[in-house]
A and B are shown apart, each in its own frame.
Chain A
C-alpha cells in the first residue's frame, strides 16, 4: 500500500526546512500592491506562494455558489491590515490578470447560483467542511509543523510522484462518494445499511488522506521517546559518577599523605567502575540485555573468584589482577575452591611483601585450575613455623575434603605459586555444554 512507501518519501523532505527559515509571518492584508483589499496578497505572503494561485483559488471557489466571494469578504473583515507600508510594485500584466480573475469569479458565482445548488451542493458541502477543518488545523499547528507541512505538500505535488497523487485522488474519491451516497440515501431510500456504507467509505477516504499525518505522528512519538531515554541515561551516568568517582577523588585528596590508603581507594574505585562499565551486571551489560535484567545471581565461578580477589584487595591494600578463562556455574566443590583461592591470596598479600598478586583461573571440561602467584620473598615449605596453619588448614584441608589437589612451589627470594585443581562433576559438564 501507499502507506508503507510514505516514510521514505517524507523523511527527506522534513530536514529541508530546518530552523534556517525565519518564522512564518502572521496573515495580514497588504497595504500596498493590492487590487481590492489585499487579502489574496496577504495570504500568498503568509503561505509563501505566488499571489496568482490564491486569486485563482478564490475565483474557483466563487463558482461554487459564490463561496469564494463570501470567503473573501470574511477575510477582509477578520484579517487586520499590515501595520506599516511596504513598497510593492504591481505590474500592468498582474493587474490585468487579477482584474480578469475577479470578473471571472463574479461571473462564475452568478452562473453557479443560476444553475442551482443541487449539482454543486454535493461537492461544496464536503469541500467546505474540509476547508474549515484544514483552516482550524493550520491555525492550531505550531510554526515547525506548518513548515513541515508546506515542505511535504511541495514535495507531494512537485516531486512526490504518482503515488502521492494516487493517494490524494483515492482519498478525495472516497470522501466524495461517501458523502454523496449519504445524501442520496437520505433523500431517496433512507436505508440503514446504505448509511453505514456511506459512513464507512467516508472514513476510509479520510484515513487514506491523512496517512502522512499518521506516519509523522508516529515518527514524532518515537523521536520523543528516544530523547527521553537519552535524558534518563545521562542522568544515570551523572548520578553514578557523582556517587562513586567524585566521592573517591574527594577521599583521596583528604588522605594524600597515606600512600597505602590512596592506592587502596583508587584500586577499589577502578574495580567498581570497570565492573559498572563492562561487568555482567553493569551499565554496558544492561544496555545490551534491553534493560530488563534484574540483579544478576552471583552464581558463576568467574564472579565468585573476582569478588574474592576484590575483597582481598580491599582488605590488604594489594593489587590482585584476575585473569579468568572460561566460566561455569558454582557448586559446592567450586565454592570450596574459591575459598581456598582466597586464602592463598591472603597469604600472598600478608607474607610475600609485594603489592601485586597474579590470579589465573582456567575452566576446562573436566577440571578447574587456579594459580595464585606472587613475586615476593618466598619461603621453604618445610620450614614453615608451627604457629602458621593458614596454608595447612584452609588450603590443603579444604581442597582435600572436596577431592581437589594442591601444589606449592616456593623458594626463598623467588616468590610463591599456589596451584589448586578441582575436578568437575560430569553432569555439570554436560549441563554447561548444552
Chain B
C-alpha cells in the first residue's frame, strides 16, 4: 500500500512548503480517515504516503523521507516501536508521533522510549492533529493529557520507592511537574503559559525536557513498562 504519490520535493524550507506526513497504521479505514481530515482541510500538512505493516513502513519512509511519521502503536510484527527501532539510527531527522487507541501505560511509554516525540489518541480531531504535527515538526514534544498522567505517575515519589540513581534524569523539577499537571488537566500550551506566568517557549522547553527524561531515565516504573514490551 506504499503510495509514492508525490516524489520527494525539493528541499526549500520556506513557510509555503507543507509538512510532509507519512501514515503508518494497519487499519486501512483509519488511514483513509486521517487522510480525509488532513489533506483537504489543512493547507500546510500533506499526506505523502501510507503503510499498513512494519516492512512497508520501513521501505516507504526510507524512500519518501517524510518530515513527520504518524505511527500506530499496535501493529503485527512488533508495532510502532519496531519501526522506530529500525529507522531511528539511520534517519534521525524524521520525527515520529505515536497515534493509538491504547490506554495501557506500557504501550505508550514503550513507544515514547523508543524515540517517538509525542503521543496522541486516535479520537483527536483533524485540527488538533495538524497542530500536533506542526508542533513535533518544530522540534517540540506533544503530550496528550493521558500521556502526561502516565509520566506524572511514573515520576511520582512513592513512599518506600528506590532512591533515584541519576537525580538529574530520575526526577522532575517542580516547574516541570506544574506544566505536566496542567497538560493532564487538558490545558493548551498557551493556557499553561498564562497560568504559570511564563512564555509559551518556556512551556515547550519544559515539555521537551520531560520527554527527554522519560526517554532516558532508568526509573524503575519506566524501565519496567518498557521491558514488558522487550525494549530495554
Contacts and interface: CB of A to CB of B under 8 A. Distances in A.
Q: Real complex partners, A and B?
A: yes
A278 B148 CA distance: 19
A325 B152 CA distance: 7
Given A433-B159, A433-B160, A358 B145 contact: yes
A371 interface: yes
A365 B149 CA distance: 17
A325 B145 contact: no
A323 B104 CA distance: 12
Nearest to A417: B185
Interface string B151-164: 01100101110000
Interface in A347-368: 358, 360, 362, 365
A184 to B, nearest CB: 64
Interface string B163-196: 0000000000000000001001111000000000
Nearest to B149: A323
B194 to A, nearest CB: 11
A406 interface: no
Nearest to B156: A326
A211 to B, nearest CB: 37
A434 B159 CA distance: 8
Contacts of A362: 152, 181, 184
Interface in B89-117: 103-104
Interface in A271-317: 274, 278
B181 A323 contact: no
A330 interface: no
B185 A325 contact: no
A81 B149 CA distance: 79
A147 interface: no
B103 A278 contact: yes
A371 B152 CA distance: 15
Contacts of B219: none
A373 interface: yes
Contacts of B187: 373
A127 interface: no
A360 B184 CA distance: 6
B103 A360 contact: no
A358 B185 contact: yes
A321 interface: yes
A434 B181 CA distance: 26
B149 A278 contact: no
A360 B182 CA distance: 9
B149 to A, nearest CB: 4
Contacts of B153: 325-326
Contacts of A274: 103
B113 to A, nearest CB: 19
B137 interface: no
A360 B160 contact: no
Contact of B149 (A319, A324, A433): A324
Contacts of B181: 360, 362
B35 interface: no
A371 B191 CA distance: 15
Contacts of B104: 278
B145 A321 contact: yes
A360 B156 contact: no
A365 to B, nearest CB: 8
A373 B185 contact: yes
Given A324-B149, A325-B149, A360 B159 contact: no
Contacts of A358: 145, 185-186
Interface in A328-379: 358, 360, 362, 365, 371, 373, 375
A417 B104 CA distance: 27
Interface in B129-161: 145-146, 148-149, 152-153, 156, 158-160
B185 A360 contact: yes
Choose among A324, A371, A432 the residue with the greatest number of B CB atoms under 10 Å from its CB.
Answer: A371
A417 B149 CA distance: 18
Interface string A131-173: 0000000000000000000000000000000000000000000
A323 B181 CA distance: 10
A360 B123 CA distance: 18
Contact of B146 (A323, A371, A375): A323
Nearest to B180: A325
A112 B123 CA distance: 90
Contacts of B184: 323, 325, 360, 362
Choose among B145, B158, B186 the residue with the greatest number of A CB atoms under 10 Å from its CB.
Answer: B186
A360 B149 CA distance: 8
Contact of A321 (B146, B152, B156): B146
B73 to A, nearest CB: 13
14 contacts: A274-B103, A278-B103, A321-B146, A321-B186, A323-B145, A323-B148, A323-B149, A325-B153, A326-B153, A326-B156, A362-B152, A373-B186, A373-B187, A434-B159
Interface of B: 103-104, 123, 145-146, 148-149, 152-153, 156, 158-160, 181, 184-187
Chain A to chain B: the 7 pairs with minimum beta-carbon distance, closest first: A358-B186, A433-B159, A323-B149, A360-B185, A371-B185, A325-B152, A323-B184
